[in-house]
Structure 1
């Protein structure tokens, strides 16, 4: 690491498995990626075509699905190329991948916070909810999430891109993550590490705090509902969002917001796969399985004749 040079490409180690195992992983990850894109596109399409889903909750859900498509697409194609044997990436491509990965991830965290606030307003202030969460406010909220994510990470990546890197430029990961990238620098990176840690804390913990406060207020309000059925109905509107938040925050906080303790690099690789490959597929599955409106809309699209007969039958009653 003492050879200072103008590095033009990096070697991504990826997974040190046999060729047969790498081929197996390629097929598995490729299938998961196709399912992820298809499932999230399906949710976006359902929200657009079914008028029953034209509410703020499902508008934010479609935005989350749109984010997930690009979030997983910033990593998985490169992971598949790595498994196929193309392990070298250019400096520009590496920095670009890092930028989009963290920008989209930051936007997603804030969007989840906005979705928690939306559930709080719907449950705790139902009479004023339609006037507060109108279409203009929804668009402004999602635009702010995108803007914060992309602008905040831009200055962080600008700082990292000015570093000088050393040979051999080997990143022991399957994508250009910031911690292993910083370890390749020939310069002292204490300041950059502090800034990255502060950035991770500010983005993740701020959005996490928004979510926690919203759920504390929701639980406080729902606990005052006298009927058990009413409490169950109120909690059911939050169950899918709460499950997604728990999975995502649990994984990312362990990776980026923890003491500087030495963990095997394979642990971070496994968590990285779970965060970038598995989680984007879990989100649409969770929302579909736990959400009656989404399941009804999907059933209507898959079997329109049956839905029409049910509607006529209901009208005749």
Structure 2
């Protein structure tokens, strides 16, 4: 934090703290929205922690699919915790955040969001191998391959977050310090800069492009091949099971990538701030709450593991 503060002073910025306006400025909506998002946050935390515990405690869930699911829940838990508590503060009082805290929030948010992009991509590849190359599944999705995919996602996330944060630290903030958002995200911060943001916009285009276009292209190719192979399955039950697995992932991918693409791929950073905040809510707050349900609680293996775990706890 002190390092970031010194860097702010060194580059001529006179802003030492920011004011986060939050999701809305309408007084009559503050309490209802506080209770709503507090409930979402609690459900998200319990759902993701519960799923991680369930996968860890049940050996038959120690497969590539649930290995990725464990890491997805961990990522959702972390980046939801980076964003939601700060958002809740805005509903009850003026939300003041220091320059260093703002940059730290930006870094961890970017890190976990980029990482989630590549976890979702790894999950799509896992489903492709399971459905299209079932005989080679254990060899193709070995422990080493799964570990490489996860570590690679974290490394790309770290690199992208460092690029975003380093470029933000070079900017001067010398006029307004009021951020019309509930978090320190890139677009609202760029609007407050009193120096050129050309380099920042280029980095956003490159990093977000790599984090969205490459995963989306991989997911699209994977599911094109998956659907082709599903239609070749003669068993109605087998076809239905495969489609059910795919539909859950497609819903989550559409929610996450759709709202993120809308947020970052606009032609100008001067678009509607209300639209920005609403689209951000979907992939920062709603998505982490929904993922444990759409991925897991519709899954029979998870339901069986949950029943066994509960029976063990209830039996003396």
CA contact (8 A) 2:52 2:73 kept: yes
Aligned partner of 2:203 in structure 1 is: 195
Aligned partner of 2:193 in structure 1 is: 185
CA distance in 1, matches of 2:13, 2:136: 61
Instruction: State the TM-score, normalized to the length of structure 1.
Output: 0.90
Instruction: State the TM-score, normalized to the length of structure 2.
Output: 0.90
Shift of 1:36: 0.5
Aligned partner of 2:77 in structure 1 is: 69
SS at match of 2:135: coil
CA contact (8 A) 1:10 1:88 kept: yes
CA contact (8 A) 2:18 2:96 kept: yes
Q: Give the unaligned 5+ runs of structure 2.
A: 1-11
Match of 1:283 among 273, 291, 303: 291
Aligned length: 304
Shift of 1:11: 1.3
Aligned partner of 2:91 in structure 1 is: 83
Q: Which structure has the larger Rg over C-alpha atoms? A: 1
CA distance in 1, matches of 2:107, 2:251: 27
Q: CA RMSD in A?
A: 2.0
1:244 aligns with 2:252: yes
CA contact (8 A) 1:12 1:82 kept: yes
CA distance in 2, matches of 1:46, 1:290: 14
Aligned partner of 1:44 in structure 2 is: 52
1:64-143 to structure 2, matched below 5 A, reads: 64-143=72-151
* Residues 145-184 of structure 1, C-alpha deviations (whole Å, 9 max, x = no match): 1111012220221111111112221111111110110111
CA distance in 2, matches of 1:125, 1:56: 14
CA distance in 2, matches of 1:259, 1:247: 21
* Residues 240-280 of structure 1, C-alpha deviations (whole Å, 9 max, x = no match): 22221111111111111233386432122122222211111
CA distance in 2, matches of 1:185, 1:97: 18
CA distance in 1, matches of 2:92, 2:217: 41
Aligned partner of 1:300 in structure 2 is: 308
Q: Give the unaligned 5+ runs of structure 1.
A: 308-317
Aligned partner of 2:280 in structure 1 is: 272
CA distance in 1, matches of 2:191, 2:69: 37
1:173 aligns with 2:178: no
CA distance in 1, matches of 2:218, 2:274: 32
CA contact (8 A) 2:167 2:199 kept: no
